Chains A and B, each alone.
Chain A
Amino acid sequence: MTLPQIYSAPEIPVLENLQKKFTDYQNFKNNTPIVIDYGSETCRAGWATEEDPRLTFQNIVSKFKTKKSAFKNSILVGNDVYSDPLAYPNYRSPYDNGIVNNFDLVENTLDYIFVILGINTESIEHPIVMTEPLANLYASRKCMNELLFECYSTSSVAYGIDSLWSYYYNTQNLNINPNEDSIIISTGNYFTNIIPVFSGKPQIQHAVRINVGGNSMADFMLRLIQTKYPSLPVKINDYQSKLLTYNHTYFANDYAESLECSLNKNNLSNFDHIIQFPYKTISVIEKSQEEIEQQAEKRKENAKNLQRIAVRVRQEKLEKKGTEKIELLELLDEINKLDELDSSHAIKIKSLLKQNDFYSKKEIEDEVKKIEATLKRARDKDLGIDPNENKEPHKFDLIDIPDDQLNAEDLKEKRKQKLIKANIDARERMRLAKIEEQKKMDQEKKKDNELKKNNFDFWLTQIKNKRQAILDKIDSKKNLKSELSNRRSHASQQRMKNIADLASNETPSTGTRRKRQEDSDDNFGQDDSDWNVYLDISKDNLDEDDNPEAELIQINELLFENDPEYLKNLDNKARDEIENKILYRFYSGNLEAILTDTAVPKEHSFNTSNVGDITETGDSADDNKIITDLDLNDDKNIDSLPNNGAFGLKNEVDEINELTARGNQIHLNVERIRAPEVLFDPSIMGVDQAGLVEAIENIWKKFPKKSLSFTNNIFATGLGFTNIPGFKDRLKKDLTSIFPVDTDINIKLGNTLGNDAWKGAALWSRTLFEGSENSDYVRSLQSNSITRKQYEEYGSEYLQEHLYSNMYYKQQN
């Protein structure tokens, strides 16, 4: 078996270098347009005259209270969020479901952009070229316009669709003929848009949006992991799920076929990815011989001390008894004296008795006798005299004499003797029975040994059968227990029936009425077996004298001495059985199963040598959860944990560590292809929409005369799915199946995927500038931008349409 590849779980990085401010603003003072690709995942911003964006940052804002000395309330934007460990957990995005709706955060990001660009004038004197989502909501655009014109007093703003600018940029260097039919597939963070292009002109009115994007895929992945490992001790955050998705998933070329063989055993070692989350290991501190001796010495000394204390306590007790006796004797003397003197002292005697908590003289005498007896016993013990030694044997002389020949006292004595005799006889009988039993057992043992000697094989099979019987017993016990936990099971109903029968006075209607009446007063409880009814109705069968688990351990040890191979094979078989389960492979990949109850006795499965104290090397202890994971669906699986030798585990500590490790890891196998598949079949994650290929098929019908000329120009952009391995091949394969045979399908990926939209927008504004006779960017962009005048005149929802923008329809109010 090849060792599985284990990936360590991604962690939120700590950013060392913050974004530096730029100091070359004076070079751009002549109204150079600022291009902002305001994406939902990444925001890019820079000067239109440059090839690349100055800033590329994750479009998030964190408002939090920092612990750092200088300030309290803090706002960090973009990747700077990673610079403070308190910031990331508080991050928010200006986007909600693919639409910009939190303009407070937009303001923060725009501030950030302008500050970093080094703008120090009183207003933003630059035209702004900005991206917006396909078919952006009017409300969102309205707020953006208000923000840009009212807060920053920009001169003009041009909105365009990111994927269209990306397409525009790539027509220049991807040999897409700018005048040909094409289809643009834009896979974003929230959505995937498909926009047809007729002879170089994008057709927004025919565009289609699938509500599935890179973010939904990562979110789906997170939910998959959470449902698969509900008791994982680590909480996985969005950041981790995103990284896991982008680094471990791929598009299956044939999803159905890949699913089919995804959990095959020989396929799994490559397919299954193990993600290991951090965990604490425990280790053994080995002790030297000297230390062990020292410990033994210490223990001995402690024992001696305890003994000494015990002796002293006993002595003290005896002394106390002695003094008590003397006191009592004195009291007795006094009473006797008073008694002899005069009978009129009766009241005085009574009060004296009462003072000492006695009622009569006799009581005091009894007490004295009792104390004397204890003292004598103690003395005897000290001298080593057996208390029974001096006792004369009981006299049974009166037993055989008939009652009528005895007086009252002798009769009493006779009864006493009778009782004692019965007692002694019973004891004797029991002793004999015990000896008998011992004899029987010895005989059986002898027989057993003989059988073992003469017919070893038969003997062994007998033992094995016995073992199986015990296993069956354990199983049936377990079954009963699990059945009783289910109210509707047969066992539970039987139990309820029993209880009901016991509770009702009505006995089953057999026999005559009189008989039933007799039965109702049925002397229940006189017979011992009557009480077994409680065993029947008790939920956990309390058979205490019957412990199959202990018996199993005994028999396992016996078998291990005589036939170790048999047990090892049994273990291997059990392991194989677990590993052959689909669910086990789904949850644990092709790792070797660890059994809780190995047939091979535990102490033989490790080379236990010098095991000292177990200590944790981690900071704190919370290892109770180790085994809780794996899965909750398959009880067998939880049972299947501990095991042995196969990993080369040295001892139980290693095993525990391995278990902890497994409790803190997740296996990605089916998920690796299941998560990205949402693009082709959104119904997998419950989005009731057709997948990408069906969408393209529908758009194809909208092309003039159902022309197929676009198949040569299928252009994919955006970072949602396009950089997941296998995207292009899968799309091509699926498209081949819907188009006529021999259709030329050519899928072109954007040049830089992420930055194409920004670059396109910058190129677009440069081209407009160069194509016009204007010496000013504001003027050259004017026909494609919302100017301040238009904003004031047409209202804040107004949009100036151009080739790469959304469409605008003036609402009649």
Chain B
Amino acid sequence: MSSLPKRKKTNPFKNNGYKATDAEDSDEFPTPPDHTVVYNLLEVEKPFKKAKYKNSKRIKPTRQHIAAEKAKEWPNDFPTFWSIAQAPSLKPNKKYCDITGLHAFYKDPKTNLRYHNAEIYQAIQQLPPSAEQTYLSLRNANVVLR
């Protein structure tokens, strides 16, 4: 087992170096096809697969699956995807400024934005129309038109 070829670990999210590489020269890609790697999954032989099998291409979004399964009957103590979701907090919500994220002591009744102090209130007054919705959407409090 020890004679396994060492694989280079390439976890892109562990890269702390921020070394930017040039992404432009795609033509310099190694041209002679190398059979030890997978260039294109479509061109690789997959002997282990049943040729008959056809995957259903219909993809339902998760929330449709959930809605369908919710409609079925489940025992009370059975952990389902929706039953194990954490309930809302019983403690009063902490309020944070929608613009800066600092503590919010006030709320603008016109835009519903929470704000930290008078200076930020002034900035809110100068917001372009409907820009407050972008800020509100950060905490899902925006008005959604259907």
Contacts and interface: CB of A to CB of B under 8 A. Distances in A.
Nearest to A584: B119
A509 B80 CA distance: 78
B106 interface: no
A553 B39 CA distance: 66
A260 B94 CA distance: 14
Given A689-B85, A809-B75, A120 B47 contact: yes
Nearest to B13: A246
A694 B89 contact: yes
A137 B72 CA distance: 12
Given A19-B38, A205-B77, A686-B140, A114 B46 contact: yes
B20 A582 contact: no
A19 to B, nearest CB: 6
A412 to B, nearest CB: 70
Interface string A392-403: 000000000000
Interface string B131-146: 1001101111100000
Interface in A506-533: none
A50 interface: yes
Interface in B21-60: 21-24, 26, 29, 31, 33-44, 46-50, 53, 55-57, 59-60
Interface size class on chain B is 35 or more
Nearest to A73: B42
A30 to B, nearest CB: 14
Contacts of A107: 55
Nearest to B38: A115
A684 B102 CA distance: 11
Given A122-B47, A583-B119, A685-B138, A12 B23 contact: yes
B134 A13 contact: no
A171 interface: no
A259 B95 CA distance: 12
Chain B residues touching A, majority SS: loop
A688 B134 CA distance: 19
Nearest to B89: A690
Interface string A130-163: 0000111111100100010011110000000000
A17 interface: yes
Contacts of B101: 224, 259, 670-671, 674
A205 B63 CA distance: 22
B126 interface: yes
B88 interface: yes
A74 B18 contact: no
Given A70-B33, A103-B56, A260-B103, A135 B119 contact: no
B55 A104 contact: yes
A694 B102 contact: no
Contacts of B87: 689-690, 698
Nearest to B43: A71
A358 interface: no
4 closest Cβ pairs, A-B complex: A686-B140, A690-B89, A18-B37, A633-B123
Interface of B: 1, 4-5, 7-13, 15-16, 18, 20-24, 26, 29, 31, 33-44, 46-50, 53, 55-57, 59-63, 65-66, 68-69, 72-75, 77-81, 83-91, 93-94, 96, 99-103, 116-117, 119-120, 122-124, 126-128, 131, 134-135, 137-141
7 contacts: A73-B42, A120-B47, A152-B50, A205-B79, A243-B15, A685-B139, A809-B75
